[in-house]
Chains A and B, each alone.
Chain A
Amino acid sequence: MAKAPARKSAAPTKTASTPTAATNRETPRDPAPYDATPEELEKFYREMLLIRRFEEKAGQLYGLGLIGGFCHLYIGQEAVAVGLQSALDGDKDSVITGYRDHGHMLAYGIDPKLIMAELTGRAAGISKGKGGSMHMFSVEHKFYGGHGIVGAQVSLGTGLAFAHKYRGDGGVAMAYFGDGAANQGQVYESFNMAELWKLPIIFVIENNQYAMGTSVNRASAEDQLYRRGESFRIPGMQVDGMDVLAVRGAAEAALEWVRAGKGPVLMELKTYRYRGHSMSDPAKYRSREEVQAVRDKSDAIEHLKKLMTDAGIGEDKFKDIDKEIRQIVADAADFSESAPEPELSELYTDVLVEQY
């Protein structure tokens, strides 16, 4: 008759000793802007431009009624997904995000045709036309969605990190969420477990300033979102999300920390979306001037283009890239319009994996 053991003191007792002052705690090193080669600069530029042109096309197809439901465009935020993704190890790291997911998938090298065909609800879509804009996945690319419930991907991503640690495969999970999701309770439940168990995860807040129509200041008591992990002892970083080299540099500092087994990092990427929250956004909550000012002064693609120009890349090169990207997007759009809709029999498949 074994006595049920009382709570053993063998459990980690962080609070038992005198707490270390937060300022003395080890933190990730200060990130430096990434020193990219000309080839890398061009690669980032192509990827960011592909996202922008793809999303512009998606907006057009939505206007034509070819894309239905909700459609959240990534225009303005391109440097975030491209910069972060470029730092990950595609063979072992995993990624998860919310419903504004087209850009992340493109940054991961997933075929634009499969993404656009999913948006138009065709059988050739990456989810066979059953998921739509908000629900796309590529297990092959370790891209775990594409989730429609605000904040859910943070807990799910913590589970991906748990699986990395459980298997000891050296992988890191990256969970993207917005400034709106940053107020969901489960985010903090996840922060707690992730730090408690030193899970290999980078929490990425894409702060595009507006949760639908509610600005960060109107929704967040602590509007410096990178500090939201502090009460869980998760180090935070605030990063210029409009500068792909700053993003990449910060990602490397974060990955060093996480890969060393020191637990999660919270990154806040300050960015901006040029378009509405979704296609049906009346945009009453901000002025045209505000949006135009960001476009004029802070655009991520223009910024990168300037760096490349300074590095000696000529206008002809940009024209060639632009033409090439427009062709890829036009092909994806043509494919997505001409590909057949799913067979009606698909209605009943994939509900369950097994037969009972």
Chain B
Amino acid sequence: MAIELKMPALSPTMEEGTLAKWLVKEGDTVKSGDILAEIETDKATMEFEAVDEGTIGQILVAEGTDNVKVGTVIATIAGEGEEAAAPAPAPAPAAAPEPKAEAPAPAPVAAPAAAERASDPAIPAGTAMVKLTVREALRDAMAEEMRADDRVFVMGEEVAEYQGAYKVTQGLLQEFGPQRVVDTPITEYGFAGLGAGAAMGGLKPVIEFMTFNFAMQAIDHIINSAAKTNYMSGGQMRCPIVFRGPNGAAARVGAQHSQNYAPWYASVPGLIVIAPYDAADAKGLLKAAIRTEDPVVFLENELLYGRSFEVPEVEDFVLPIGKARIMREGSDVTIVSYSIGVGLALEAADSLAGEGIDAEVIDLRTLRPLDTATVLASLRKTNRLVIVEEGWPTCSIASELAMVAMEQGFDDLDAPVMRVCNEDVPLPYAHNLERAALVDTPRVIAAVKAIANRA
């Protein structure tokens, strides 16, 4: 019985990849450990090894094929004594089997249709746009700022030779060299402190945490060293540094690797906290973060890295820190979110529109300082507020905004403020439990409906 070789899932978030190269041909004899092919994901190029002995039967997906779904049969191996030259009819890649359930695919969020979205007032009408992934936008932001200011350098684990654990720093080493793109040992506390000291000494570090989960080892320097020094020194000593990396739940990586730290950092005076959703904001706000004289915690999201969005094709695209953005105008209810939750809010708004509920969607973009004026102005219009947050509900950005609404928007409220957050548990591993714990669009829709008809 021939062994089917299937497109492997090479990372927790991989759904498809490119079959970059075959290193064997039909009829070759292979043994366990031989490299069969190179497979390129959005994060890295990986070698695909044989795990059995045998003869390569048929190669079913040609090299250079893009978007090969995880689980697709890409070749067959005939075991010893089997007839190698009689493979089953080859299915075309297009008719490839669907990925099996074990592929850790997060619920795909439909790319928002541009026509239904409010344009960003920071982008002049008629600006030419280019499609970029969030990953590319972040990389471009760093590269542009490094070209413009030689004090800017990037430091972290695997940022240089490996090209970024999530490929965000791809190509930076090649352009800027090892002095400015610095691989560190696995030593978060140490390099966060080193970065803060370098900022105090006059440089502009961009410190990448492989994920913000590991920044807990370094949080003393983020808060005690970076955030407080300007104040404690009476404005004498600054710490212009960016701490950046993926934050929040990824996919199936369990409780220690899945946490949203936005409320933690957003509670600290002296820090700027930014959590962009789309690629344009990722680029424009990371550039602003690198330029400001204040310390910035820049929270990205692994599940968004590979998503493509329109980014203005302008010389130097910088967005203001501290300004929320109305993503979709509406009159019946205000849905506020940030980071990956914005996609859920937009999807919910589209669905609600079909039921006659006209939702306004606000992307906070910056979490400290919080643009409460934009939220309150929207509340004045809609009189209803729902906050969507991929994170725990207790002491969250959602609970903060609910308090803002109480203190400053009480007379505008026609219904209780609702929050749609993750369940208040460590994130579980099992697929069904993880899905049950995380915010999703149906929960947003349900929360809106619960208050939509109250007056």
Contact = CB atoms under 8 A, between A and B. Distances in A.
Interface of A: 1-5, 7-8, 11, 94, 96, 125-131, 135-139, 144-149, 152, 154-164, 166-167, 173, 185-186, 189-190, 192-193, 196, 349-354, 356
A166 B306 CA distance: 33
B161 A5 contact: yes
Interface of B: 18, 20, 38, 40, 44-45, 153, 161-163, 167, 179, 184-185, 187, 189-203, 205, 220-221, 224-225, 229-238, 240, 269-270, 272, 292-294, 320-322, 366, 369
B230 A157 contact: no
A172 to B, nearest CB: 12
A8 B161 contact: yes
Given A8-B161, A156-B225, A1 B193 contact: no
Nearest to B197: A159
A155 B237 contact: no
A260 to B, nearest CB: 20
A164 B235 CA distance: 23
B276 to A, nearest CB: 15
A166 B163 contact: no
A246 B205 CA distance: 38
A189 B197 contact: no
B45 A128 contact: no
Given A152-B221, A166-B179, A192-B187, A139 B193 contact: no
Given A159-B199, A160-B198, A193-B191, A152 B235 contact: no
B194 A158 contact: yes
Contacts, number: 176
B40 A152 contact: no
Listed from nearest, the 7 A-B pairs whose CB atoms lie closest are: A159-B197, A155-B193, A189-B190, A128-B234, A163-B201, A356-B322, A156-B197
- Which of A11, A126, A145 is packed against the most chain B CB atoms within 10 Å? A145
21 contacts: A1-B45, A7-B162, A94-B201, A125-B234, A126-B236, A144-B237, A152-B193, A152-B221, A155-B197, A158-B194, A159-B194, A161-B197, A162-B197, A162-B198, A167-B203, A186-B190, A190-B193, A350-B234, A353-B230, A353-B293, A354-B294
Contact of A356 (B195, B231, B320): B320
Given A1-B45, A128-B235, A190-B193, A351 B198 contact: no
Contact of A189 (B45, B187, B320): B187
Contacts of B229: 137, 145
B270 A160 contact: no
Which among A3, A156, A193 has the greatest number of chain B C-beta atoms within 10 A?
A: A156
Given A7-B161, A193-B185, A351 B197 contact: no
Contacts of B198: 159-160, 162-163, 166
Contacts of A192: 185, 187, 190
Contacts of B225: 147, 149, 152, 156
Contact of A351 (B192, B199, B224, B270): B270
Contacts of A145: 229, 233, 237
B37 to A, nearest CB: 12
Given A4-B45, A173-B201, A353-B235, 13 more contacts: A2-B45, A5-B161, A138-B236, A152-B221, A156-B221, A159-B193, A160-B200, A186-B189, A193-B187, A193-B190, A356-B272, A356-B366, A356-B369
Contacts of A196: 185
Contact of A135 (B205, B233, B322): B233
A351 to B, nearest CB: 5
Given A158-B193, A193-B184, A1 B272 contact: no
A181 to B, nearest CB: 13
A11 B254 CA distance: 34
Contacts of B293: 353-354
A190 B194 CA distance: 8
Nearest to B291: A354
A3 B45 contact: yes
Contact of A350 (B153, B190, B230): B230
Given A127-B236, A164-B201, A155 B189 contact: yes
A149 B224 contact: yes
A192 B195 CA distance: 15
Contacts of A139: 233, 236-237
